[in-house]
Amino acid sequence: MKTTREMLRHAVATVAYRGGKTVRDAPQSFAEFRAGPTSRTAAEILSHMGDLFDWALTQAKGDEAWHESGAGAWDATADRFFRSLAGFDAYLASDQPIKCSEERLLQGPIADALTHIGQLAMLRRLAGAPVRGESYANADIAVGRVGREQAVPRREFD
Domains assigned to the chain: 4-130 (1.20.120.450)
With b for 16 or more beta-carbon neighbours within 10 A and e for fewer, the 39-59 pattern comes to: ebbbbbbbbbbbbbbbbbbbb
Q: What is the pLDDT of residue 81?
A: 98
Give me the helix-helix angle, 42-61 and 111-126, nearest 10°: 170
State the chain's mean pLDDT as an integer.
Answer: 96
pLDDT in tens, 77-134: 999 999 999 999 999 999 999 999 999 999 999 999 999 999 999 999 999 999 999 9
Please give the average per-residue pLDDT across 17-41, as a whole number: 96
Q: Are 136 and 34 in contact (CB under 8 A)?
A: no
DSSP 109: I
Q: What pLDDT is stored for residue 158 in this prediction? A: 75
In this predicted structure, the answer to whether residue 10 has a pLDDT above a threshold of 80 is yes
Phi, psi of 113 (to 5 degrees): -60, -40
Picking from 138, 110, 141, 129, the residue whose alpha carbon sits closest to that of residue 20 is: 141
pLDDT of residue 20: 97
**Residue 132 has what pLDDT?**
95
Cβ(123)–Cβ(131) below 8 Å: no
CB 69 within 8 A of CB 133: no
**Percent residues over pLDDT 90 in the chain:** 96
